[in-house]
């Protein structure tokens, strides 16, 4: 699955055990709506360093797997989900140059500024091929 958004928060790496460390981050999707969504993801082990080159406020694309687990405790059974990111990349590294052609083509019609003010909502994609990059 994948989605895009603005990198809002990136936490420090947490060492959970001798063999497992994680790093959490949050992106904001649907930021142009009255109800923006702040979505929390997790990076694990060697993937934690992916965020080192990214800055809060940048637009990113996150490729992730949805994981769920069951826990039976004294209060009953509970279910937990994790959005396990395995690829995070900056969107439009040349965003300044991408904006220039839009401005040049928008001189003839007023519809172009309307399109710029309403970016597409994030789309989640999933396929069987998503599992090809998994280490197990």
pLDDT score of 23 more than 80: yes
Q: What is the pTM of this model?
A: 0.64
Contact residues for 48 (Cβ-Cβ < 8 A; gap 6+)? 13, 21, 22, 23
pLDDT at 31 (0 to 100): 83
The pLDDT > 70 percentage for the chain reads: 68
Domains, the chain, with CATH or none: 2-129 (2.40.50.140)
Three-state SS annotation for the chain: CEEEEEEEEECCCEECCCCCEEEEEEEEECCCCCCCEEEEEEEEHHHHHHHHHCCCCCEEEEEEEEEEEEEEECCEEEEEEEEEEEEEEECCCCHHHHHHHHHHHCCCCCHHHHHHHCCCCCCCCCCHHHHHHCCC
Q: Tell me the per-residue pLDDT of 49-69, one tens digit each, with 9 for 90 and over.
A: 999 999 999 999 999 999 999
d(CA 108, CA 105): 7
Distance CA 54, CA 61 (A): 11
* Mean predicted confidence (pLDDT) in 120-124: 53
């Amino acid at each position: 699955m994948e989605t895009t958004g603005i990198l809002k928060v990136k936490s420090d790496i947490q060492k959970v055990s001798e063999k497992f460390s994680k790093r959490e981050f949050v992106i904001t999707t649907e930021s142009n709506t009255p109800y923006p969504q702040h979505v929390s993801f997790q990076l694990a082990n060697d993937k934690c360093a992916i965020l080192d080159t990214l800055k809060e406020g940048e637009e990113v694309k996150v490729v992730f797997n949805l994981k769920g687990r069951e826990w039976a405790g004294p209060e009953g059974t509970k279910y937990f989900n994790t959005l396990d990111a395995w690829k995070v990349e900056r969107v439009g590294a040349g965003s300044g140059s991408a904006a220039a052609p839009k401005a040049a083509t928008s001189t003839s019609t007023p519809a172009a500024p309307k399109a710029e003010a309403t970016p597409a909502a994030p789309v989640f994609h999933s396929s069987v091929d998503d599992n090809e990059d998994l280490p197990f």
